[in-house]
Amino acid sequence: MIKLSNKQLPIILSFFIGSVVLIYKLAELQLFDDTYKKLAEKTILDKQTIYPARGLIYDRNEKLLTFNKPIYDLEVVYRNVNPNMDTSLFCSLLQIDKETFIKNLDKNWKDKRYHKALPFTFLSKINPEVYASFQEHLFQFPGFYPLIRNIRAYPHSSGPHMLGYLGEVDNNIISISNNSYEAGDFIGMSGLEKQYEDKLKGEKGFSFLLRDNVGREVSSFNEGKLDSLSKEGLDLITTIDLDLQKYCELLMENKRGSIVALEPGTGEILTMVSTPSYDPNALNLDEDRSKAFAKLTADKEQKPLLNRAIAARYPPGSIFKPVLSLIAFQEGVFSPKQTVQCQGYYQYKTFKYGCHEHETPYNIQSGLLHSCNSYFFSMVRALIEKDGFYKPEIGLNTLSGHLNDFGLGQKLGVDLFFESPGFVPTSDYYKYLYRQEEGKWYSTYIMSIGIGQGELELTTLQMANLATIIANRGWYYKPHLVKGFSSPSVEIDEKYKIKNRVKIDQEHFVPVIEGMHKTITRGTGYKAYLPGVDICGKTGTSENSQSNGKDHSVFFAFAPKDDPKIALAVYVENAGFGGDIAAPIASLVIEKYLKKEIKRVKLESRIQKINLVDNP
């Protein structure tokens, strides 16, 4: 027998007593007290998303352009579903078939996205009428829970290209969003909805719940300390005048083309119309949206989804003549008092280029009011040949440099996606075009640029901005659609606050503007005349390159002459001479904006009755 010393005995006794106590506490926890056993069963953490209200969009006078409409998702916890539920009634109420029910409930449980004890989406985008009927019977279907979401709806049918629409995020968007989006989320897909997604979407909130292994809610996780509230998106105040927008759309019914009107002093877009158009409510995120989208996409002839105001490129026609004049005067190659003889055509060697009969243009005002092609063929040649006939690249590069300065050949930077830069030809372009002639070309090859034809292409927005530059006598702010936000601390992009100046001396604008004014009072734009308002404008007829295609009608203008409040461009496809349709449309738009009412009701009625879509 081992004898223990007086010092060893207390130590061993202490270890023995401690061991007995530990064994007892362990037995108590595992065999007698089920508190931690129950807690151990709470192993499922359910992260619930609280969706924010999307910011609303208003016009410049705070008239509502969009609102949020409730739509319902139905979520389900698989383990809570009664296997003996009345599936016939369930399917009937939700207007689905039995196959859809089985498919939506049966998931691949090996997929980490699904768990039988956590909720997942069973059915999405249930319209309010269907849900209202289903809700009365919801108590009969344990395990199913409604989730309210918001989609966009529109109180008016105006401005779909400008406003845009929402869509569901795809895997690509999710992967590049740093987890700010997840499957089933909505995002702006076009228009202002896309451009200002970060401002409109708001911030999600989250609630963390503990569920037991059969999906029952047990408690908040960590006493709710990680939970957060959602934050609604910012409201957006646009520059659009809803009344003017509606009126422009009325005038453009049954026509293909676009209207853009700007406030010259700010660059704010007053109206942006593209026709043919569509009702923005047709692309609501409900169950009929896919059919509507497919129908709009399939219309290859009318292309209603195309925003012709910023994405379509057109030859500007004779509205380019005032711009060419300013550049030629600045470069000193042509005088405002210069006379050009015109016999109804312009002749170079054996080639004749058409004009029309009119009195001899003895200065720029006369050249503009008669829209004399001979006058501007002479002008563009003088500019391109500024360093001689055999060095046209120098003159053309000078011209293209000025045109870039006017915002042509590049995107203006409007706050919309899918803006086209248009096209301004350069000497390198023609060198490549005439590569079979060793890259040699001369002014006589490209004279059509002088009258806004040939390779030169502009968007309607660019045309309206040209009118703004002339109205302001040489400066402009970049055109934009947003005036501000509901939070005073959030401002519009700084680039819309910068005054851009073209390199044209002020003195050169005087004769050009006078010529544009005379174009309305006694020239080709007489149909745009508005008593009591001094309109300055220019007609244009853009040749249609399509076989047997009717020419396009073009007009740009600003008013009043000495205190401009509106500058605009109107482009009507297949409408013929610019003075016949585009000019009176622009005149009515100016009357509506400046005088708030239309007194020329016969003119208004005539324009409304013109149908160029069914009978182009």
* Mean pLDDT calculated for residue range 241-245: 98
| Residue 81 predicted with pLDDT over 50 | yes
pLDDT of residue 477: 98
The better pLDDT of the pair 309, 51 is held by 309
Placement of tokens 């207007």 in the chain: 95
Q: Do 93 and 127 contact (CB within 8 A), yes or no?
A: no
Higher pLDDT, 481 or 71: 481
Range scoring the smallest mean pLDDT among 213-222, 548-557, 580-589: 213-222
Global pTM reads 0.88
Domains 47-238 and 242-292+313-609 share a fold: no
Task: Tell whether the model's pLDDT for residue 537 goes beyond 80.
Answer: yes
Cis amide bond preceding 560, omega within 30: yes
Main-chain phi, psi angles of 74, to 5 degrees:
-115, 120
Mean pLDDT of 452-478: 97
Res 156 pLDDT > 90: yes
Token pair for 47: 């992260």
3-state secondary structure of 204: coil
pLDDT at 237 over 80: yes
CATH of span 47-238: 3.90.1310.10
Q: Which CATH number describes the domain made up of 242-292+313-609?
A: 3.40.710.10
Tell me what the mean pLDDT of segment 429-440 comes to: 92
Is 40 a residue whose pLDDT tops 80?
A: no
Per-residue model confidence (pLDDT) at position 12: 66
d(CA 123, CA 499) in angstroms, rounded, equals 52
* Number of neighbours of residue 263 by Cβ within 10 angstroms: 20
Distance separating alpha carbons of residues 345 and 336, to the nearest angstrom? 21
CA–CA gap between residue 195 and residue 165 (Å, rounded): 11
Decide: 338 and 363 in contact? Cβ < 8 Å: yes
Question: What's the CA angle centered on 318, arms 329 and 468, to 5 degrees?
Answer: 70
Which amino acid, one-letter code, is at 241?
D
For 227-300, strand residue ranges (E) read 236-238, 257-263, 268-275
Q: Return d(Cα 384, Cα 381) in angstroms, integer.
A: 5
Residue 577 token pair? 């001479």
Q: What percent of the chain has pLDDT over 70?
A: 90
- Contact between 364 and 512 under an 8 Å Cβ cutoff? The reply is yes
* Domain ranges (residues) in the chain: 47-238, 242-292+313-609
Beta-bridge partners for 501: 475
Closest-CA residue to 586 (of 551, 562, 554) = 554
Q: How many CB atoms lie within 10 A of CB 358?
A: 17
Q: Does the pLDDT at position 36 exceed 50?
A: no
